Structure 1
Amino acid sequence: MKRLLIALLLAVLVIPGSIAGAANYTGEPIKAKLASEEIDGDFMTVWAEKFADHMREWSDGKIDIEVYPYGTLGALGDINELCQMGVVDFVFSDYAWISSFVPQAQVLALNYIFPTEKVPQTLDWMMDNGEFYPLLTQSFRDKGLVPMSVMFEGWQWLTTNKKIEKLEDMKGLKIRVMSSKLLVEDYKAYGAVPTPMDYGEIYSGLQMGLIDGQVNPLFAIYSMKFYEVQDYCTQLNNEPFLGIPTANAEFFNSLPENVQQEMFNFWQGSIIEAGEWIMERNASDKEKMMQERPELEFNYLDDQAISAFQKQAQTVYPKFTKIGGTGSEKILEAVLKDIEKAKKELDIQ
């Protein structure tokens, strides 16, 4: 009798959730593939899996999204192409690698346009209130893609074996950057020799001296072990690393409207939470690197040095309108306007 009562109680607790999930989506089962540009356990793959779990729960198991971490479906350029072709249904990429298909996304690669604090909150405000995101969406849709949000993954750090204290220290350094014409211009403006290279080739490139340094957020520097072959991590305060979860437009358009909306709800509703998650992760990974390699130095530039970098970065802004494709001038104007409005609303200096 006791077991029967327990079973009945469990049924009462479980069934309402199942009914709610089933009521959210009553159509045919949906299977989809999502390719992430990061390895298992890193930001994009973790949040892609959270997305898959959310949609599975919301649909009572009828929407099944399989996540493929970096390296399982090809290089970074490959997975963006696979999404555009519809071989995979989603890709979680960034403003640089997706730019081969949507050059307008490179506006997010302009250095020194974001505030140094409250970046997730700034992005969240821009998604809800700004002029930039609708313009970006149109640029993506013109190429058969749909951007679902813009996510903060922490600030980019420059790693080198030479200490960087001023702009002049960058001269002639071969620095690996992501594949983006605008990023190349950013680091050329600093006097470096920017060298696009796939993610999986960076460690050996550093080890063999093919490159002198590289740029990535802290979690990537730790998980990919770049800190093992570099002596300095320098914060230029120039570039937040931003991810863009993206859907194939044909696939996305085939989904019921409430499914589409729930996908947007997840990604845009996760901007601040994901930002807090990655800041904690980056702080933890920094501590691990300091413990595992005490000689590794984390380097912060003074205001005078930052000012010199910022002045050079601004010389690149006009180049975006030539590199960024159709509508780039309007997109640049919108993103700068949105950021200034967000700073005012959020009381950011």
Structure 2
Amino acid sequence: MKKLITSVLICMLVLTASLAFAAQYKGDSIQAKLASEEIEGDFMTVWAKNFAEHMKKWSDGKIDVEVYPYGTLGASGDINELAQMGVVQFVFSDYAWISSFVPQAQVFTLNYLFPSENVPEILHWMVKNGKLMPLLEKKFRANGLVPLSIMFEGWQWVTSKTPIEKMADMKGLKTRLMSSKLLVEGYKAYGASPTPMSYGEVYSGLQMGLIDSQVNPLFADNSMKFYEVQDHFTQLKNEPFIGIPTVNAQFFDSLTPEAQAEMRKFWTESIVPAGKWITERNKKDMEEIKKARPEVKFSTISPEAIKEFKAAAETVYPQFVKMGGEGSQEILDAFLQDIKDAKQALGM
């Protein structure tokens, strides 16, 4: 029944998009849809609305982008497909879900490649000056999409009912991850038993014991109230949560060069301010979780444990070349070089 409803919704949206095509692409005014992977008030939806407001103001009201929070147009996989089809013009999704459509995006799932500090500044340098983004754009375009930026949404946290202090503590732990084959292999290397599951099903999965733990950024843990059914929040410093604002390629190419440049500029220049926003937001999230459930324990693993996790993560790097699709070696090399060059440019 759920699949039938989704299919009917997609058909209706396709018909609506087809009827509106001439008006959208030939007229002076543009009405567009942006589907967000996150709920109202969370990072992607907040910054999607900032983007919509900016473009409306910049265009004197001619570019009108309507933002749809998580669940209003389907789950994470659905909205990426809708953007690829052009039913919605924009999608704000994460590096793991978008990799179902662009496997090369799985390069961001490789753990312990980013430094533990100044990730937004690193990403800003990479988007403006690096070699990775042009290579990724070619792969996105081959799948009908265009990436506009790479956004830092805080570090991923592993939540569980038992403490995690060393890698052995993750052995056999049924852990919910986002949908990415390479991400699954990464957590298998830690000894976990990865269990991909839809975002909206995680709470009930934890509650019913279908999964033991899950991985998400702190704002999501608070918004979705995962702390109600988890006792320990552990920071491995392994995986920054990366959001990729993306636009349908046909729609984007129909816009004026000025509008295209402004969209890219907004997202690029938002990387560092958005990074500061999410850092402050996560401080509040932690305070709210502690207040709501004081028994929840927050911890960061020791430097010795990080070395152990990092060594395991490095065994997965070669698998990206096998899973990442055509050009993945070139993309991995560019990614590593960009991080090295960004750190040098930033004096890190």
TM-score calculated relative to the size of structure 1 = 0.92
Cα displacement (A) at 1:347: 2.1
> Would you say 1:62 and 2:62 are equivalent positions?
yes
Alignment of 1:1-349 (within 5 A): 28-348=28-348
Shift of 1:291: 1.1
In the aligned structure 2, how far is the partner of 1:270 from the partner of 1:303? Answer: 32
Q: Which amino acid aligns with 1:38?
A: E
For 1:182-221, what per-residue CA distance to the aligned partner results, in whole angstroms no more than 9, with x for missing partners? 1000000000000111100000000000000000010000
Could you say what secondary structure the match of 1:281 adopts? Answer: helix
SS at match of 1:294: coil
The letter for the 1-side match of 2:133 is: Y
The one-letter code of the counterpart of 1:150 is: I
Q: Equivalent residue of 2:179, what SS?
A: coil
CA distance in 1, matches of 2:43, 2:217: 10
Q: Deviations over 1:238-272 (max 9, x none)?
A: 00000000000001111111011110010001000
State how far apart, in whole Å, the 2-side matches of 1:127 and 1:106 are: 17
Structure 2 letter corresponding to 1:32: A
User: Displacement, 1:344?
Assistant: 1.5
Query: Identity over the aligned pairs, expressed in percent?
Result: 67
Quote the Cα distance in structure 2 between the aligned partners of 1:206 and 1:320: 30
Partner of 1:5: none
Give the counterpart letter for 1:34 in structure 2. L
Instruction: Give ranges in structure 2 of 5+ residues lacking alignment.
Output: 1-26
Shift of 1:319: 0.1
Deviations 1:213-232 (A, max 9, x none): 00001000000000110000
Q: Cα RMSD over matched residues?
A: 0.9
Distance 1:217 1:101 in 2: 23
Structure 1 gap segments, 5+ residues each: 1-26
Partner SS for 2:92:
strand
- Alignment deviations for residues 323-349 of structure 1 (CA, whole Å, 9 cap, x no partner): 00010000000001110111112122x
Distance in 2 (CA, whole Å) between partners of 1:197 and 1:85 is 24
Question: Could you list the per-position Cα deviations for residues 99-154 of structure 1 after superposition, in whole angstroms to 9, with x for gaps in the alignment?
Answer: 11000000011000000000000000101111111101111011110000000000
**Equivalence for 1:3:** none
Higher Cα Rg: structure 1 or 2?
Answer: 1
SS for the counterpart of 2:195 is strand
The 1-side partners of 2:162 and 2:86 are apart by 44
Give the ranges of 4+ consecutive aligned residues of structure 1 lying more than 4 Å apart after TM superposition: none
Counterpart amino acid of residue 39 in structure 1: I
Calculate the TM-score normalised by the size of structure 2.
0.92
Number of matched pairs: 323
Could you list the per-position Cα deviations for residues 275-309 of structure 1 after superposition, in whole angstroms to 9, with x for gaps in the alignment?
00000001110011111111000011111111000
Q: What amino acid is aligned across from residue 277 of structure 1 in structure 2?
A: W
